[in-house]
């Protein structure tokens, strides 16, 4: 198993104290945690992309560029690049530039995004989201694998003999497909022989297992070697305590206050938004959240691995408004007490090909 740290750069008041850092301080926190993740041996650090709601992640390429300058080894991923609302030419240029600056450490996770408001913000029809996603991804793919591209489509002007610059550092970066609620992303990933990144963040395991199973089935049907069907999985936040009892007593108020704070009544009943795990006991027992003792978290990750057979596990340490020191302490405990056990039990050749 490989391990990634993901931040969506949430910028809501602390759910218990109401404290809210300045945007500059919050962004510095993200960079400091990224540096710590590299020092602690994590394989990748990812920045999400949000254009609606209380987030500071509208320009992930800029944040990752800053992190590239302060690190030397850790891979730089997105989570996700909302390609459905973007110009693929600009995406190709921005992330190839980042790939050059980081000397080949960039990989994209593309998706339609998890915020309902961004299609209106960019003047696009949300009903066409999967058409937008498919066309723009396939153009991006061509821009990174071909030169002198001739292209015509529905959602942007035609291209004639276009070669985007700079070219990526050592060939086209790997592109994962973020998958949360629909079979469309697993289908697109399978068709092109790309890896799948299941959100595994809000819904019960069975919902995500259905998407992963569809991906693996279609991957082989499209003629790809099933050994190359890579899967990654997210999580709904990481909180570690010495014992299960301590986890509940220490984090119950924090977890449940954040759930109340982030509840979106206008999206109630819409898959992928409001967590059904309202109490911390429910989250520990059945949710994707990694909360509990080190052994509980090991068991939960390996339980997901039995179903998903995933190569990469993503963790999030800033979902509950904890300080920089608390986030780094959590990563230290994960690196020392959890990651070695999971790596041994669930080996992978990802990033060794």
- Residue 31: the pLDDT is 98
> Which of these, 288, 292, 266, 261, lies nearest to 276 by C-alpha position?
288
Distance CA 262, CA 255 (A): 11
> C-alpha dihedral over 334, 335, 336, 341, to 10 degrees?
80
Domain contains 137: yes
Domain range for residue 38? 2-345
Most distant CA pair in the chain, distance: 63
- Kindly tell me the burial class for residue 239, based on how many C-beta atoms sit within 10 Å of its own C-beta (0-12, 13-18, 19 or more): buried
- Give domain status of residue 353, yes or no: no
In this prediction, residue 270 carries a pLDDT of 66
112 occurs within a structural domain:
yes
Q: What is the CATH number of the domain that holds 185?
A: 3.20.20.30
100 falls within a domain: yes
Helix spans in the chain (H): 23-39, 60-70, 88-101, 118-121, 129-145, 184-192, 205-221, 244-262, 280-286, 294-308, 324-333, 339-345
Is 164 inside any structural domain? yes
Q: What is the DSSP string of 30-62?
A: HHHHHHHHHHTT-SEEEE---SSSSBS-S-HHH
d(CA 248, CA 260): 17
DSSP for 90-134, written as a single string: HHHHHHHHHHHHTTS-EEEEE-S-S-TTHHHHTT--GGGHHHHHH
Is residue 176, in this structure, part of any structural domain at all? yes
In a domain, 351, yes or no: no
Alpha-carbon dihedral sign for residues 319, 324, 330, 334 = positive
Residue-wise pLDDT tens for the chain (353 aa)?
A: 999 999 999 999 999 999 999 999 999 999 999 999 999 999 999 999 999 889 999 999 999 999 999 999 999 999 999 999 999 999 999 999 999 999 999 999 999 887 767 899 999 999 999 999 999 999 999 999 999 999 999 999 999 999 999 999 999 999 999 999 999 999 999 999 999 999 999 999 999 999 999 999 999 999 999 999 999 999 989 999 999 999 999 999 999 999 999 877 666 666 667 788 999 999 999 999 999 999 999 999 999 999 999 999 999 999 999 999 999 999 999 999 999 999 999 999 999 97
On whether the CB atoms of residues 103 and 82 are closer than 8 A, the answer is: no
CA distance 8 to 167: 27
Indicate whether 196 belongs to any domain: yes
Number of domains observed in the structure of the chain: 1
Residue with tokens 């809000």: 202
Asked if 316 contacts 238 with a C-beta cutoff of 8 angstroms, the reply is yes
- Give this prediction's pTM: 0.96
Residue 189 token pair = 């990933």
The per-residue pLDDT for 233 is: 98
Distance of CA 299 to the CA centre of its chain: 22
């Amino acid at each position: 198993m490989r391990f990634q740290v993901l931040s969506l750069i949430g910028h809501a008041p602390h759910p218990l104290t109401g404290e809210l850092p300045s945007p500059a301080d919050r962004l510095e926190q993200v960079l400091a945690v990224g540096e710590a993740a590299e020092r602690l041996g994590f394989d990748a650090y990812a920045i999400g992309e949000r254009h609606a709601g209380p987030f500071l992640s509208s320009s992930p390429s800029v944040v990752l560029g800053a992190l590239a300058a302060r690190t030397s080894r850790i891979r730089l991923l997105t989570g996700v690049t909302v390609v459905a609302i973007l110009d693929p030419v600009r995406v190709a240029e921005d992330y190839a530039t980042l790939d050059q600056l980081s000397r080949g450490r960039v990989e994209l996770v593309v998706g339609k995004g998890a915020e309902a408001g961004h299609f209106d913000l960019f003047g696009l029809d949300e009903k066409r989201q999967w058409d937008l996603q498919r066309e723009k991804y396939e153009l991006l793919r061509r821009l990174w694998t071909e030169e002198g591209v001739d292209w015509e489509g529905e959602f942007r002007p035609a291209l004639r003999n276009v070669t985007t610059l700079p070219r990526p550092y050592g060939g086209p970066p790997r592109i994962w497909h973020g998958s949360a609620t629909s079979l469309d992303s697993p289908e697109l990933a399978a068709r092109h022989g790309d890896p799948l990144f299941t959100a595994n963040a809000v819904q019960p395991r069975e919902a995500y297992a259905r998407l992963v199973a569809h991906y693996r089935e279609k991957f082989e049907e499209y003629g790809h070697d099933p050994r190359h069907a890579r899967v990654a999985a997210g999580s709904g936040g990481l909180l570690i305590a010495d014992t299960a009892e301590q986890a509940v007593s220490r984090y119950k108020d924090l977890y449940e206050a954040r759930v109340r704070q982030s509840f979106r009544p206008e999206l109630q009943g819409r898959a992928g938004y409001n967590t059904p795990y309202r109490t911390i006991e429910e989250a520990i027992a059945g949710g994707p959240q990694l909360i509990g003792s080190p052994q509980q978290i090991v068991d939960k990750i390996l339980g997901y691995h039995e179903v998903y057979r995933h190569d990469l596990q993503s963790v999030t340490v800033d979902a509950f408004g904890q300080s920089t020191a608390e986030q780094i302490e959590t990563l230290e405990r994960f690196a020392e007490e959890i990651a070695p056990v999971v790596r041994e039990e669930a080996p992978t050749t990802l990033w060794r090909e």
